[in-house]
Amino acid sequence: MPVFLSHNETVFSSDTPAELALIREEAFAGGADAAVVSNHWALGGAGARALAESVIAICEGPSAFKFLYDLDLSIEEKISIICKEIYGADGIELSDLALQQVATYTRQGYGNLPSKDRLLSQCIC
């Protein structure tokens, strides 16, 4: 997953150019894909332009992203895989509300979409 560092110039306005350079160097040394100074608090969108451009550049580049599960699995199976692989669960138990939501989403044709965090909050992993 790409890592971005955005240093807020407005909050840290006393930082010297040397300190900003050190922050950038350390960010890259630590594995960051981008490290920019932003000034969105003071300048709005214009102050966040460098950050936005770096995010776009990194996201448009090559990626090894893949889902943990086949998108054709049921929502319940996707949740189970997430709970087991990420949270170390032995299994899942869906609440009545989560079961209703799974049935609704599946009936509405959303079963092949990536699972939602909102559903995860309704189950016990």
Structural domain spans, the chain: 4-59, 75-124
Q: What is the pLDDT of residues 48-104, one digit of tens each?
A: 999 999 999 998 988 888 888 888 899 999 999 999 999 999 999 999 998 999 999
Residue 106, pLDDT > 70, answer yes
Tell the burial category of 102 from Cβ atoms under 10 Å away from its Cβ (0-12, 13-18, 19+). Answer: buried
In order, the DSSP letters of 47-63 are GGHHHHHHHHHHHTS--
Percent of the chain at pLDDT above 90? Answer: 40
What are the structure tokens assigned to 2, written together? 């790409």
Residue 20: which of 42, 35, 34 has the closest Cα?
Answer: 35
Quote the mean pLDDT of the chain: 85
Rounded to a whole number, what is the distance in angstroms from the first to the last CA of the chain? Answer: 24
Share of the chain above pLDDT 70, in %: 90
pLDDT for position 118: 52
